[in-house]
Amino acid sequence: MPDSEPSAPELQPSTATCQFTVQFWGVRGGIPTPGSETVRYGGNTSCIEMRVADRLLIFDAGTGLRVLGKHLLRQLPVEAHLFFTHCHWDRIQGFPFFVPGFIPGNRFHLYGASATNGASLKQRLNEQMLPPNFPVPIQIMQSDLKFHDISPGDRLSLPDIAIETSCLNDCHHTTGYRVTCQGYSAVYATDTLCLPDRINPGLLHLAREANLLIYDATSMAHRANELQLCPDEVQDWTWKTGIAIAKEAGVKQLVICHHDPSHSDDFLDRVETQLQSAFPQGKLAREGMSLNVCQA
C-alpha cells in the first residue's frame, strides 16, 4: 500500500537466510521477436519475476507474462503483486493471455501510475481487452484483481519488503522500482531517457548501492536522429549509460534488458563482451536467466 511516512534508514544485509531471486521471462522491447536469430536471448517482451521473502512480485506484463503464467499453473492457488512501469503495449500485451488471471481462487494486486492521457492502469488493461482489440473482456477474468493507483515517488510496503518508486520519464509517465528486503536491493529502471553525461538524479538515488540494477537497452532508439547517431551507436549509448549509472550509484551488478527487436543473438553477444570489458559485473538479460540478489 502507498505509504506517505518518511522512509526508514537503509538496513544492512542480514545474516539470516535471504530469499531474493530474480528471473527473466521477457527481455525484448517494442514487439515480440520470435525466430532463429533470437533463440539465445529470447523474443518475448518485458516481464520479470522476483521471489522475495516468500512473496511473488512481477514487473511488467509483456508477452513473457504468458510463459510465466504457464509455469505458475503448477503452483495454484497463486497470489502475486504486479507492478507496471508504464502502459506501452510491450508492458501490457501479455496480460490478456495470463491464464492464472482467469482461475478462481487466485489473487493479484496490480500497481501502476496513470497513463499520459490520464487513464488509470485498470482502464488501460480494460481497453486493450475490448472489441475490436480482443474478444474476451477483463470482466471474464475470475481471479481476484485488486488495483492500486500509485504516483511515482510513493513508497509501498509488504511484509518484510520495502518498495520505493521514482519517476524516470515524464514523457511516458514511467515509474522505476527499488525492492529491498533484509538490506538487499534490486532496482528495475526502464525508458529513462538518460545519457551518460545527463543522468536522472532520481534514478541515481533509486539505484544507490543496489545489489542489482536492471537497466533498459532501447530507451534511446527514438532519439537517434536528434543525437545524430546510427542505431548501433544508440545501443552503445544505452549500455554505456547503464555503466555510468552503476558506477556513480555504487551498484554491484548490472543487467541490461529490453533489447531492441532488431538486434540478433550475435549482435547482443558482441554487446555483452564490450559491456563486461568495461564493467565486469555486467551482463545482458536472457529469457530464463535467474539471479540470486543475495549473492550479487
Tell me the pLDDT tens digit for each residue of 237-263: 577 888 989 999 999 999 999 998 989
Cell triple for 60: 511488467
Domains in the chain: boundaries = 19-295
Tell me the pLDDT tens digit for each residue of 53-79: 999 999 999 999 999 999 999 999 999
Of the chain, the percentage scoring pLDDT greater than 70 comes to 84
Tell me what pLDDT residue 12 has. Answer: 46
**CA-based nearest residue to 288, from 263, 266, 262, 257:** 257
CA distance 179 to 170: 22
Tell me what pLDDT residue 142 has. Answer: 97
Tell me what pLDDT residue 269 has. Answer: 95
Whether the per-residue pLDDT at 3 is higher than 60: the answer is: no
Q: What is the largest CA-CA distance in the chain?
A: 54
User: Which residue did the predictor score with more confidence, 121 or 217?
Assistant: 121
Return the minimum-mean-pLDDT range out of 30-34, 113-117, 181-185, 217-221.
Answer: 217-221
Tell me what pLDDT residue 87 has. Answer: 86
Four-point Cα dihedral 217, 220, 224, 230, nearest 10? -20
Whether the per-residue pLDDT at 9 is higher than 80: the answer is: no
CA distance 79 to 61: 16
Whether the per-residue pLDDT at 15 is higher than 50: the answer is: no
Give pTM, 2 decimals: 0.89
Confidence band for 169, pLDDT divided at 50, 70 and 90: confident
Q: How many CA atoms lie within 13 A of 178 on its CB side?
A: 26
Return the minimum-mean-pLDDT range out of 50-54, 111-115, 192-196, 231-235.
Answer: 231-235
The mean pLDDT value for 4-12 works out to 39
CA distance 109 to 113: 14
Beta carbons within 8 Å of 70's beta carbon, 6+ residues apart:
99
Of the chain, the percentage scoring pLDDT greater than 90 comes to 70
The mean pLDDT value for 22-26 works out to 98
- Beta pairing partners, 213: 187, 254
Tell me the pLDDT tens digit for each residue of 152-162: 899 999 999 99
Cell triple for 230: 546510427
CA distance 136 to 140: 7
Tell me what pLDDT residue 241 has. Answer: 85
Tell me what pLDDT residue 168 has. Answer: 86
Tell me what pLDDT residue 202 has. Answer: 86
CATH 3.90.180.10 fits 19-295, yes or no: no
Whether the per-residue pLDDT at 8 is higher than 60: the answer is: no
**CA-based nearest residue to 65, from 26, 32, 112:** 26
Tell me what pLDDT residue 217 has. Answer: 75
In contact, 184 and 20? CB cutoff 8 Å? yes
Whether the per-residue pLDDT at 11 is higher than 50: the answer is: no
Whether the per-residue pLDDT at 234 is higher than 60: the answer is: no
Average pLDDT over the chain reads 87
